[in-house]
Amino acid sequence: MQREIVALERRIATLEDEELEVMEALDEAQTALASVVAELDAVAASLEETQAAYDKSVGVIDAQVSNETRERAFLVPSIPVDLLALYEKLRAQYSVGAGALRQRRCEACRLELNGADLREIATKPADEVIRCPECDRILIRTNESGI
């Protein structure tokens, strides 16, 4: 009987040790869970902020597109038919039909024009349609053209 009591006491001690280990593991798991839940909440809040900023930006862009579309519809009748046809053809081909000439660079293809091309462009009349020698799109001369 004493052997059984000793064996039971040993078994009880072993079970108590195992219970302590399980309780420690549970505490660690609960701490990790709390950390993950807090991180998830922070990510969810950040996502909400980002979504709100995205929605606001889309609204601004939609308003700009609407304004530009109205302005384009107003201006199109004043553009010569052949120039408009050329622009639409180039736009269909390249998605950008024209680009400003700024600081010796075509804004359509982003390439810098060489001096000979710039001199040739400078000699052309102001009302002549000029095409980029690099990308063949319509060049729009500006005060910042560099010519």
pLDDT tens figures, 7-46? 999 999 999 999 999 999 999 999 999 999 999 999 999 9
Cα–Cα distance measured from residue 27 to residue 131, given in angstroms and rounded to the nearest whole number: 73
Domain-by-domain residue ranges, the chain? 1-78, 80-141
**Does residue 83 contact residue 129 with C-beta atoms inside 8 Å?**
yes
Tens digits of per-residue pLDDT, 86-137? 999 999 998 899 999 999 999 999 999 998 999 999 999 988 999 999 999 9
